[in-house]
Amino acid sequence: MLGAAALAAIVLLGGGALAVVYALRDRYEVPTADLFGTPTPSGSPSATPSPTPPPGADITGPLNLLIVGVDTREDDPSWEPHADAVTILHVPRGLKTGYMFSLPRDLVVDIPKFPKSGFRGGRTKLTHAMSDGSRRGDAKPDVAQGFQLLAQTVSRYTGIKRFDAGAVLTFTGFRKLVDALGGVDIYVDQRTPSQHLRADGRGRSAGNGPAGYGGPQMVYEVGMRHLVGWQALDFSRQRYLPGGDYTRQRHHQQLVRAVMAKALSLDVARNPVQFDRVLRALGKTLTFDGRGRPALDFASALSGLRPEALKLVTLPGAGVGRGSGYRGEQLTAEGRKFISELLAGRADAYLRAHPALVTRR
């Protein structure tokens, strides 16, 4: 969901800001990579300073975007990336409404074999798909290659045959994005102690806590709070809470909405200084694949999508196994049914019948 927050900001930079975009595009081009195993053909069209029609005008939907947040452990080049937040944004035809939902990182899925990395396939947690796909022998793990296997796995599980675009954002990128926006305002809906950090933002020492830490800790109390980058990232990572990873998914979604609201309130799209600050913050921490189309095409096409029109959906699930026999998570029949109803164009009716699935604040 961290990547979703970055994508939300990019979307809001699209409409009404094309002159600024083109002025800065050569300085801060969004990094791209082959995230789906389908290299961009040579000679693919690119945006021009005075396009007619405007960029993205032929993107009418429906769209499916796969957005992943990763902890790359940048200080350890041998670390294999894991998919810590796996988010899908579905935008129906017309591009005026959207549905965003996450899959649990520990969702038990069938991961297909992947010759590029030598992975033979197996049934395990979704988060491992990226690491299983990222291996390149003795070379440094490849995040883009790992994304390819993750995308195949998510496609098989959800029934989404093709993703129109994908994005990867690191934890560092998310923190920088929030700081570039001047922080975000969010309603903390339950008391959330940090397992990782103290109140001054420094790391906690080793201990007997749920995540292996001990000593003083940062606590996010219930109520409307203003969070700077490190706080927003820390808050979004906590899962040793009532509701576990499903609570964390809800908090991710609340942060996406907060990022969108803050970008709108700053009128980032028409403010060259703010726009420049956001692009500088994202830098190389965001990687995008639009299957041959630049991020700006999608930003322009989705510029009419507003926070209030984006429905944030939390899919219910439960653990598979308990204690030492815990294997991961599985969605309930209600959660699985939402995905099939979404793809059939009946999401609104399903959500009216199951209102608890929608994140309200």
218 inside domain: no
159 inside domain: yes
Q: Show the CA angle centred on residue 153, arms to residues 151 and 154, nearest 5°.
A: 65
Going through the chain in order, the beta strands assigned E by DSSP cover: 63-71, 82-91, 98-103, 108-111, 122-125, 165-170, 184-188, 192-193, 205-206, 213-214, 219-220, 223-227, 286-289, 310-313, 317-320, 328-331
- Separation of alpha carbons 262 and 8, rounded Å: 11
102 inside domain: yes
- Dihedral over Cα of 19, 23, 27, 33: its sign: positive
Number of domains in the chain: 1
Residue 173 confidence (pLDDT) above 90: no
Bridge-based pairing of strands 165-170 and 192-193 is: unpaired
Q: Which residue has the higher pLDDT, 176 or 103?
A: 103
- Separation of alpha carbons 62 and 25, rounded Å: 27
The structure tokens listed for 222 are 């219930």
Range of the domain at 280: 2-182+253-357
Is residue 91 a contact partner of residue 62, using CB atoms and an 8 Å limit? yes
SS3 110: strand
Could you report the per-residue pLDDT of 206-220, keeping only the tens digit for each? 888 787 888 899 999
- Separation of alpha carbons 317 and 248, rounded Å: 13
196 inside domain: no
SS3 181: coil
Which range scores top for mean pLDDT: 44-48, 98-102, 153-157?
153-157
- Separation of alpha carbons 258 and 271, rounded Å: 19
198 inside domain: no
Residue 204 confidence (pLDDT) above 50: yes
244 inside domain: no
Lowest mean pLDDT segment, chosen from 118-122, 141-145, 153-157: 141-145
209 inside domain: no
- State the CATH number of the domain containing residue 324: 3.40.630.190
The pLDDT value given to residue 153: 97
The structure tokens listed for 245 are 């990873």
Residues in Cβ contact with 193 at an 8 Å cutoff, skipping those fewer than 6 apart:
217, 218, 219, 220, 238
Residue 327, judged by CB atoms within 10 A of its CB (0-12, 13-18, 19+), counts as: middle
214 inside domain: no
Confidence band for 19, pLDDT divided at 50, 70 and 90: very low
The pLDDT value given to residue 5: 55
The pLDDT value given to residue 160: 96
Mean pLDDT of the chain: 82
HSE of 290, CA atoms in CB hemisphere, 13 A = 19
The pLDDT value given to residue 13: 47
